[in-house]
Structure 1
Amino acid sequence: MKALLFILIITGIVNTAAAQQFNVKDFGAKADGVNLDTKAINDAVEAAAKAGGGTVYFPEGTYLSFSIHLKSFITLYFDNGATLLAADSTADGKYDAAEFNANDKFQDYGHSHWHNSLIWGDSLQHIAIVGTGVINGKGLRRNASERRPWGNKAIALRLCRNVIIRDITLLNGGHFAILATGVDNFTVDNVKMDTNRDGIDIDCCNNVHVSNCSINAPWDDALCLKSSYALGYAKPTENVTITNCIVSGYDLGTFYNGTYQRNEWKKVPDKMGPTGRIKFGTESNGGFKNISISNCVFEYCRGLALETVDGALLEDVVIDNITMKDIVNAPLFLRLGARMRGPAGTPVGAMRRVNISNINVYNADAHFASIISGVPGNDIEDIQLNNIRIVYRPMDSVTTKIPLIVPENEKDYPEPARMGIMPAYGLYIRHVNGVSLNNVQLSYSGVETRPAIMIDSVRNAELFRIKTQPVPGTGNIILKNVENFSIKNSEGYKDKKIKQSSSTAL
């Protein structure tokens, strides 16, 4: 442990002036998975805090606990073989009560409260949760409320700074395995999760690095950027890097045990198939700015979703080197909507300057295509798709009725399935000003009756080196209400510029 302590000191995780180790067993923890260790753990944390900071050490064993109260300059270190097990609320104890939040009407219950969690910290600095042990939120419940004071989240942090979560494994994390709201200078690295709802929610945070994580979240999003109104004001999530991560939607627990099963997709709460994706939104009051996502893998889950529907500005996003396989809805979903869940008078938001490059998708669900959609009067702006290849699997029935008009549904919850079957198999673009497609290849297996691309109510669209698998008896690119459209150097298409057209088939 001296070597461990030295590493923690030189990396700045603990206060170098007062670096000490506090073994929870020395404070009475039984680590037998039967007796509650809540008091012993919190006593160890309190002692470390009074000493000016240090490492609260969990040796091998199973620690049954309710709420643990983090303090500044504290590291929780879970050694190999150590498991922190969330207790189920019983007559013998319960989690801390959810704190009052006057702004809870603007986001789901789970986003509005932090204290009703297994590990929580509020207005802290220089904290860490590290080690090769396990945090198992078995006793946590998503539907905690004032009437049902169960534990809601595994780790919840509010208004903290200089935070590190590294190397741990998180199982059954409750509503969120990690909820970070208003957390700045935040690093999550080499974390493994197999969890029953959201994996990591990064809400109203600044200067965030997520790397080398594997997150299986079949019933909700794996890694979700949000900008809610939970703090009582609009604060953007900005300056974020996400790299070298794998997200998936295998049956709960089968990522952790290595069997990777795909049999329980009907258990997903919205009945729309496994989730497990990287997403921006839906809570989107404060905005998303200066985000980079790179070198990530999606498997058996929903596609990448960028959503702003509550008045937020989403801008300056770069996404690069993504591979996807067995995607259950739209591989790419960019949605500017007008749900407007926030303070009255907030205007519709904006989405602009998004660059998506080097994306390879195989066996995606053809019902939904990839979707880029604003709303009437509020165009998405300046979108670039470069070096994209998507192969769609056959629809379940070639006789499925395909609507000619896609409903706007601008006030609806933003989810590809709620927009219905797309009238194009590959790419559907609507209400966009400025979109560039370069070296985009779209193809399908089986039988198709729809065009590859539909562009509707779009200005300033440039297509270069486009390759689409043709569909017999139909145009492969359908244009409706376009201004300033061009296509060049594309296989099977003549170079063409169109200044304005209400209806054209290419």
Structure 2
Amino acid sequence: MSATPLFDVREFGACGDGRALDTDAINAAIARAARSGGTVVVPAGRFLCFSIRLASGVTLLLSEDAVIEAADPARHGGAYDLPEEATGELFQDFGHSHWRNSLIWGIDLHDVAIVGPGRIEGTGLTRDGPGARWRRDTGERPLSMTGMSEAEIRALEPEEQAMIGRGNKAIALKNCCRVTLRDFTIAKGGHFAILATGIDELLIERLTIDTERDGIDLDCVTRTRVRGCRVNSPNDDAIVLKSSYALGAAIACDDVVIEDCTVSGYDAGTLLDGTRGRTQQLAPDRDRVTGRIKLGTESNGGFRNIVIRNCRFERSRGLALETVDGGLIENVTVSGLTLREVTTAPLFLRLGDRGRGPVGTGVGAIRGVTIEGVEASGIDHRFAATIAGLPGARIEDVALRDIDLTYAGGGTVADGERRPPTLPHAYPEPSMFGITPAWGLWVRHAAGVRLRDVRLATETHDARHEIVTEDAEIERT
């Protein structure tokens, strides 16, 4: 068997000095490797680039001490590839709807890989982008953003014209199969460090990501494995499954395993420098720092056959399983989670009716969820573990086993007397209901909730009840 051909980007004119643009040289090496398949080698050096276009049958190898740096259109005399015409942008934001406007992108490819141990630095990328064109009185933004001025919103969500020539993703992939991302580091990934949409047979393992917005976004993917990754993202979600309308149809995330990963909300950049800073208190949505694993918010197609196991959350929001756009969450198994410094609810299951989708989008469902072997401490006292469905659309068949949650405590009698509104159309976040009436577990509009070996405690006295239910059937053993 012959060895895989190697194509060094320096042989195609790359300088790697951090000053000259190496975009054309790297793209030329990829085009050459694509003729017969092979590995494009990025050696030690700093390679300043605009959009790099992946190709089928090609591996991009980032060698030790190799850095691909995202160029800045304002400083480096160039531009990122233009965003393609979107088919479903009405129902999700600009970032989810485009892939070409990225540092590294691939569409309709097969057998493609990016491997380490080098580094991608998104210094010239932007974290911003327009929101969805869909509008409703509620549901587009978290309630924690209520009261922000139009100028503050525009700063986070600029007009689409302002994005022309700019890049807002480190890696973007669409409609590909047999993709591997392994052993490299991403610093400052833009809106998404990785956006993978409609990918089949995706393997992401041993990545380190320290970014200013989303870490790994898996949208409408199938047969996907995320293993041994470390993702720090104080301003947004670290590892998140979505099932948006970006491909023009409601497509489920199916057969996904996330295992042996650590997510966190330390100050941006302080995972990589080792200081693990705790200066930042709030994310841009004016809730506490994020950095979690989540299903949703985009949830048109739903999520099924999902496994999350042996993961650690540090200074982050807790696990969230959300469907609010008509999709079904079914057959989800979560086990072996450790959470420290939990900035909102440790567990949050939400069935809502935001309905961001075509006319006729109805309420989805959550059923067949098992969560076991969870140990959490340092939990914000305001937000109990929450299972919240809707009147007439209850969450069903949820098992909580071997759960150990320790809250800060401090809730008042008045807190315990609160009866939050159902808020069916609101954006789902644990803080949406305000302080929960229970300090440990709050269950409303749910049936078939089974608790076994669930241990709840507080560090200081809390005047609320440990467990509060409303229109709920729970069994505790």
TM-score in terms of structure 2 length: 0.91
Q: Deviations over 1:195-227 (max 9, x none)?
A: 111100000000000000011011000000000
Kept in 1: contact 2:203–2:224 (CA 8 A): yes
Residue 194 of structure 1 is matched in structure 2 by 210
Residue 298 of structure 1 is matched in structure 2 by 313
- After the TM superposition, list the runs of 4 or more consecutive aligned residues in structure 1 that deviate by more than 4 angstroms: 397-403
Q: Deviations over 1:424-443 (max 9, x none)?
A: 00000001111100010111
Secondary structure (helix, strand or coil) at the match of 2:285 reads coil
Q: Indicate whether 1:95 and 2:80 are aligned.
A: yes
Secondary structure (helix, strand or coil) at the match of 1:39 reads helix
Kept in 2: contact 1:18–1:54 (CA 8 A): no
Kept in 1: contact 2:415–2:436 (CA 8 A): no
Query: How does 1:8-87 map onto structure 2 within 5 Å?
Result: 19-50=4-35, 52-87=36-71
Query: Alignment partner for residue 245 of structure 1, among 245, 261, 264?
Result: 261
Q: Deviations over 1:445-474 (max 9, x none)?
A: 122110000011013x2111xxxxxxxxxx
Query: How does 1:402-481 map onto structure 2 within 5 Å?
Result: 404-459=418-473, 461-464=474-477
Paired with 1:372 and 1:136, the residues of 2 have a C-alpha distance of: 39
For residue 400 of structure 1, report the CA deviation from its aligned partner: 7.0
Q: Which amino acid aligns with 1:158?
A: K
For residue 167 of structure 1, report the CA deviation from its aligned partner: 0.3
Residue 117 of structure 1 is matched in structure 2 by 102
Paired with 1:226 and 1:257, the residues of 2 have a C-alpha distance of: 30
Name structure 1 gaps, 5 residues minimum.
Answer: 1-15, 465-506
Root-mean-square deviation over aligned CA pairs: 1.3
Name structure 2 gaps, 5 residues minimum.
Answer: 130-159
Which deviates the most, 222-231 or 140-149? 140-149
Query: How does 1:145-164 map onto structure 2 within 5 Å?
Result: 145-149=160-164, 150-164=166-180
Q: Which amino acid aligns with 1:462?
A: E
Secondary structure (helix, strand or coil) at the match of 2:90 reads helix
Paired with 2:161 and 2:107, the residues of 1 have a C-alpha distance of: 20
For residue 19 of structure 1, report the CA deviation from its aligned partner: 2.7
Q: Indicate whether 1:225 and 2:241 are aligned.
A: yes
Secondary structure (helix, strand or coil) at the match of 1:100 reads coil
Secondary structure (helix, strand or coil) at the match of 2:245 reads coil
Paired with 1:83 and 1:334, the residues of 2 have a C-alpha distance of: 40
Secondary structure (helix, strand or coil) at the match of 2:95 reads helix
Paired with 2:285 and 2:197, the residues of 1 have a C-alpha distance of: 25
Q: Which amino acid aligns with 2:210?
A: D
Residue 165 of structure 1 is matched in structure 2 by 181
Kept in 1: contact 2:413–2:463 (CA 8 A): no
Q: 1:160 to 1:361 in 2, by over 3 A?
A: same
Paired with 1:347 and 1:221, the residues of 2 have a C-alpha distance of: 26
Paired with 1:167 and 1:373, the residues of 2 have a C-alpha distance of: 38
For residue 87 of structure 1, report the CA deviation from its aligned partner: 0.5
Query: Alignment partner for residue 390 of structure 1, among 402, 405, 410?
Result: 405
For residue 147 of structure 1, report the CA deviation from its aligned partner: 2.9
Query: Alignment partner for residue 130 of structure 1, among 105, 115, 139?
Result: 115
Q: Which amino acid aligns with 1:212?
A: G
Paired with 1:102 and 1:42, the residues of 2 have a C-alpha distance of: 27
Residue 262 of structure 1 is matched in structure 2 by 278
Paired with 2:128 and 2:374, the residues of 1 have a C-alpha distance of: 37
Q: Deviations over 1:338-378 (max 9, x none)?
A: 00101110221000000000100111011011000001110
Secondary structure (helix, strand or coil) at the match of 2:331 reads strand
Q: Deviations over 1:98-129 (max 9, x none)?
A: 10113101011100000000000000000000
Paired with 1:130 and 1:403, the residues of 2 have a C-alpha distance of: 54
| Percent identity between the two aligned chains | 48
Higher-RCO chain (CA-CA 8 Å, sequence separation at least 6): 2
Kept in 1: contact 2:121–2:186 (CA 8 A): yes
Paired with 1:232 and 1:437, the residues of 2 have a C-alpha distance of: 40
Kept in 2: contact 1:291–1:318 (CA 8 A): yes
Secondary structure (helix, strand or coil) at the match of 2:161 reads coil
Secondary structure (helix, strand or coil) at the match of 2:337 reads strand
For residue 399 of structure 1, report the CA deviation from its aligned partner: 7.8
For residue 234 of structure 1, report the CA deviation from its aligned partner: 1.1
Q: Which amino acid aligns with 2:18?
A: G
Secondary structure (helix, strand or coil) at the match of 1:231 reads coil
Paired with 2:59 and 2:328, the residues of 1 have a C-alpha distance of: 35
Kept in 1: contact 2:87–2:247 (CA 8 A): no
Kept in 2: contact 1:398–1:447 (CA 8 A): no
Larger-gyration structure (1/2): 1
Paired with 1:180 and 1:398, the residues of 2 have a C-alpha distance of: 44
Secondary structure (helix, strand or coil) at the match of 1:147 reads helix
Kept in 1: contact 2:416–2:465 (CA 8 A): no
